[in-house]
Amino acid sequence: MVITPAEARKLTKADEGVVQRVEEEIDEALRNNNLNISVGRFPNEKVREKIITMYRGAGWDVKYVSDQREGDYLSFKGGSGQR
């Protein structure tokens, strides 16, 4: 069966489980004032984009940083430029 581009972009059930787990980990990190979160735990770009969208919707300024030396991460800032 051929799928549409929209269907290809949808999260799978496994992806949704990862989003939930990663969300809990990010929430805990942010509570502990850790504003840089490694994206190594994200299995694919769909999960990363879902996380970014969710946190931006909650008022965070989220930036994806590609760093070959230290590893890719998400940088979080509060709406006023601070946490």
Q: Dump pLDDT digits (tens) for 23-81.
A: 999 999 999 999 999 988 788 999 999 999 999 999 999 999 998 888 899 999 986 54
Report the pLDDT value the prediction gives residue 83, as an integer from 0 to 100. 47
Q: Is residue 2 part of a domain?
A: no
Q: Is residue 59 part of a domain?
A: yes
C-alpha span between 54 and 36 (Å, rounded)? 16
Report the pLDDT value the prediction gives residue 79, as an integer from 0 to 100. 62
Instruction: Say if pTM beats, i.e. exceeds, 0.85.
Output: no
Q: Is residue 43 part of a domain?
A: yes
Q: Is residue 7 part of a domain?
A: no
Domain range for 22: 12-77
Tens digits of per-residue pLDDT, 3-30? 899 888 889 999 999 999 999 999 999 9
What domain count does the chain have?
1
Tokens describing residue 58: 């909650």
Q: Is residue 49 part of a domain?
A: yes
Report the pLDDT value the prediction gives residue 29, as an integer from 0 to 100. 95
Q: Is residue 53 part of a domain?
A: yes
Q: Is residue 5 part of a domain?
A: no
